[in-house]
A and B are shown apart, each in its own frame.
Chain A
Amino acid sequence: MTLLLQLLVNGIVTASLYSLLAVGFGLVYRSMRFFHIAFGAVYILASYAVILMRDTFGFPLSVSIIIGLTIGVVGGVLMDRLVYLPLEKRSAGSGVLLVASLGIYILFVNLIALIFGNEVKILSAGIAPSYTFGPLIISRMQTVQCLMGWLLVTVFWFIIRRNTFMKGVWAMGEKQRLVRVLGLPYEFMRVVVFALSSLFAGAASLLVALDVGIDPHVGMQALLTGAVAVIVGGVDLFWGWIAGAFLLAVLQSLAVWQFSARWNDLVTFGILIITLLFRPQGLFAPIRRREE
């Protein structure tokens, strides 16, 4: 029972990280309607930027984190301005964008591996202190992950509920032309989408990297986790993304309990396949009229 409770707590902590990934990926996927593979590149970019700032330029960690997140955001926005937007202006389909995105991802992974090496880089050395609540143990880093993750997601949720601009961003995914002819600033909205998406990717990446370190190949894992959470929960529902992330995290930690951590991917993609077979619109999405 204690073990189950502990795994549930771990699940909630992991869910906070997965939610960040889901929101980051989902923002682009929902409002641009294309699969932003380079999200994985932004993910590693932010952490490696922090490592570069701290180890090479000798900034303190806090300053490095701010610079690293900024570099991630700028990188994400530039990907759109330099690659996606020009392609879209020449009316490229989503298949072309997908391949372009994959190209950016591979380029970044290899560049970073070339500069920093393939091995795991550690951001914080030593064993982190932990707190015990009765039988439950939670490390300090886990507490930070959990608090930061849920805080960011909650703040963002309040913003999209109240803000007309963000409603416009939401509308952009289904009715791109309409958003343009209503006089909304389409290109600026794209900038905001990519900036926010990259911010969420960077935050998730740093929260993980500060705990267990980072290597150049974790981006794909992060991307797929976010994507599965969004698709499982339902692309059209913001809280569905979060619920998807939560479901994924809890089921994964149950899999760790019953089998071993090696079967995590099986759980992730098992859920994805089952969802796509039986409820392709997502587990939590309502059924819509066909006219929509």
Chain B
Amino acid sequence: MCWVTRKCGKFILGFSMLSAVNIDASYGRKQVLFRASISIEEQDRLLLVGPNGAGKSTLLQVLVGLLVPSVGKIEFSGRNISSWSTRKRITSGIGYLLQSENIVPGLSVRENILLGGYSIKRNVLATRQAEILDVFGFLKDKLDVRAGLLSGGERQALAISMVLMQRPRLLLLDEPSAGLSPKAASSVLENIKHAQDVMGVKAVCMVEHNLKVSLKWANKIVVLIGGKVAHVSDEPGIYLKQPQKLEKYFFKKASEAEV
């Protein structure tokens, strides 16, 4: 089992699908990430947790290229992608689900799905669409409905299916169940599981606050506090039984967190 050490990300052992090493990132003058490192391997179901403002979403944005880090290196499948544009990263196999505003309400469901498949080849477009609609069956009846009229859970499912149209190998999800009812939230997680099983998604990295459901799903957990990686574990199941063990990270200050 190869894993990144917390303080010095230079020691990456073995081969990982995506690795980000010593990332510093800031919005204007406010620095959000401090030497954060993360490594995602094939078959990972990585759960990224931490208090609000810990830099979880920021880290995902750095990985997908929406935010350019001031320091740090990102590798994907052995290639240095630090200087790649978002488009290049997406078309080379990284799928990214935005936390909000992740569908186009003014277009129909069908048009949204086609937009998700913009950069794939024309001749596979129809097959992909059919595959997606097999997983998200309820979208079939609503293909011509304006996406803005969908309910919260349906919107999220549509957003995920748009990301899946490209058949990403790595899926980065920013709070896929935010604002959903517990039932809708677990069905979204079901869909993600399904995507990993049948849609060729090799690894998933998810930011999620709904720990009850997501801890069952995950097989790896990374705790981010104050822009630093505070804890990494391969056994998220433990925290399901003993949530206080995880909670202690949430109440610590960033300076004390480097246990």
Contact = CB atoms under 8 A, between A and B. Distances in A.
B87 A167 contact: no
Interface string A156-189: 0000000011011011001101101111111000
Interface in B83-97: 86-87, 90-91, 96
A170 B107 contact: yes
Contacts of A236: 106
B118 A164 contact: yes
Given A171-B106, A182-B116, A185-B87, 9 more contacts: A168-B115, A175-B102, A175-B103, A180-B87, A182-B166, A183-B90, A183-B91, A184-B119, A186-B86
Contacts of A288: 105, 148
Interface of A: 164-165, 167-168, 170-171, 174-175, 177-178, 180-186, 236, 288-289, 291-292
Q: Which of B66, B104, B163, B166 neighbours the largest number of chain A CB atoms within 10 Å of its CB?
A: B104
Given A177-B98, A288-B148, A289-B148, A183 B105 contact: no
Contacts of B64: 181
A125 B103 CA distance: 54
Contact of A167 (B86, B102, B111): B111
Contacts of B166: 182-183
B204 to A, nearest CB: 16
Query: When A and B form their complex, which 9 residue pairs have the shortest distance between CB atoms, in order from nearest?
Result: A183-B90, A292-B105, A171-B104, A292-B148, A183-B119, A181-B96, A180-B86, A164-B114, A183-B91
B11 to A, nearest CB: 31
Contacts of A181: 64, 66, 86, 90, 96, 98
Contact of B115 (A182, A186, A291): A182
Interface in B151-169: 162-163, 166
B101 interface: yes
B118 A184 contact: yes
Nearest to A236: B106
B149 interface: yes
Report whether over half of chain A's contact residues are helix, strand or loop; otherwise say mixed.
Answer: helix
A32 B12 CA distance: 42
Interface of B: 64, 66, 86-87, 90-91, 96, 98, 101-107, 111, 114-116, 118-119, 148-149, 162-163, 166
A181 B119 CA distance: 11
Nearest to A165: B118
A186 B90 CA distance: 13
27 contacts: A164-B111, A167-B111, A167-B114, A167-B115, A171-B106, A171-B115, A174-B104, A174-B105, A175-B101, A175-B103, A177-B98, A178-B101, A178-B102, A180-B87, A181-B64, A181-B86, A182-B118, A183-B166, A184-B87, A184-B115, A184-B118, A184-B119, A288-B105, A288-B148, A289-B149, A291-B105, A292-B106
A186 B87 contact: yes
A110 B96 CA distance: 47
A165 B106 CA distance: 15
B144 to A, nearest CB: 14
B107 A171 contact: yes
Contact of B87 (A170, A183, A291, A292): A183
Contacts of A289: 148-149
Contacts of A171: 104, 106-107, 115
Contacts of B103: 175, 178
Contacts of B163: 182
B102 to A, nearest CB: 6
A168 B91 CA distance: 16
A236 B107 CA distance: 11
B106 A174 contact: yes
